[in-house]
Amino acid sequence: MLPPSHHSFINHLISIIRHDIRADALLGGGSLVHGGFDEYSDLDFIIVIKDEYYDEIQSDKQKFAKNIGTLLNAFTGHHVGEPRLLICLYGPPLLHVDLKFITLDMLEHRVENPVILFAREENAINAKIASSQPHWPEKSPDWFEERAWIWLHYATVKLARGELYEAIGMISFFREQILGPMLYRCAGMPQREVRRIEQLGLDPEKLLASTLASHNRGSVKSSIKNAITAYVTLRTDLPPSPNAVLSETLLCEMLDALE
């Protein structure tokens, strides 16, 4: 069961897509696929555009989005490497909606199998989905290892300089980019940063909580040390090839030398 505001928005969008000759289908992703939908969930849509209209739509996605409802704010997904994506805030009531515009052939390259909310030719959509497999962008053990010590060193030098907000921000970034995905990996699940880790019970040892810092030097220093411990602990389930023992040793010595 969807919340009334979400259900109403979906039905409204289906009606718009149905009457727009440029669009072939409306597909749903995110929580519509994975479950766990509640009143705070975003709506993730994939709009399949006919080839001959794709450039037109892509060049002015905001115009398309404004025709859907009261669009308060919107920006493209360039920051996540997805220029086809338009991230929108509608309201009232406030509702976060992601609109990704693709052609039918582009559906072959996807991170999940979407649900079909509307399609002029449902068989064509199903055939395209059946002809390829989704690929979640998992990060390798070497990807984590190559970045972990550089990011932790960055937090440490910011601590040493007294830039505590910078250090705290980097520790938070480290949780999202390194520790969260590794917790998902250890659970045999797709790496989804830190999303729903509490609800899924993926961190029984409270590794993430141990890296939370308040705005004082002692707390930030402890958080960095705990982030090192958490990373080394999670690394053991699938060790990287370039194990950076020296980086770990030197960083711990640097931290210990700080007051």
How confident is the model at residue 244, as a pLDDT? Answer: 64
Q: Are residues 67 and 154 in the same domain?
A: no
15 domain-assigned: yes
Q: Are residues 92 and 162 part of one domain?
A: no
pLDDT at 162: 97
Q: Are 66 and 145 found together in one domain?
A: no
pLDDT at 207: 97
The last residue of one of the domains, among 93, 108, 130, is 130
28 and 114 housed in the same domain: yes
Predicted local distance difference test score (pLDDT) of residue 31 = 86
Same domain, 58 and 155: no
Has residue 104 been placed in a domain? yes
Give the pLDDT confidence score for residue 243 in this predicted structure.
Answer: 65
Domain co-membership, 115 together with 176:
no
125 & 165 share domain? no
The answer to whether residue 176 is domain-embedded is: yes
Give residue 42's domain range.
Answer: 4-130
Q: Flag whether 109 is in a domain.
A: yes
Q: Summarize pLDDT for 92-111 with one digit per residue, the tens.
A: 999 999 999 999 999 999 98
Produce one character per residue of 62-81: b if its CB has 16 or more CB atoms within 10 Å, e if not. Answer: eebbeebbebeebeeeeeee
Same domain, 112 and 203: no
Predicted pLDDT of residue 33? 85
Q: What is the CATH number of the domain that holds 122?
A: 3.30.460.10
In a domain, 136, yes or no: no
pLDDT on residue 100: 97
Residue 259 has a pLDDT of 79
State the DSSP string of 148-198.
Answer: HHHHHHHHHHHHHHT-HHHHHHHHHHHIIIIIHHHHHHHTTS---TTTTHH
Final residue before a domain boundary, out of 100, 130, 160? 130
Tell me: do 87 and 106 sit in the same domain: yes
| CA gap 198, 77 in Å, rounded | 27
Domain presence at residue 33: yes
Give average pLDDT by consecutive 10-residue segment, the chain, 259 residues: 90 96 95 84 96 95 95 94 95 95 95 94 94 92 95 97 98 98 95 92 96 97 97 94 81 93
Instruction: Indicate if 13 and 41 belong to the same structural domain.
Output: yes
Asked if 45 contacts 148 with a C-beta cutoff of 8 angstroms, the reply is: no
What is the reported pLDDT for 22? Answer: 96
DSSP structural state of residue 106: G
The amino acid occupying position 243 is: N
Whether residue 135 is contained in a domain is answered as no
Residues 180 and 209 in one domain: yes
- Do 150 and 113 lie in one domain? The reply is no
Tokens standing for residue 10: 């979906």
Task: Please give the tally of structural domains in the chain.
Answer: 2
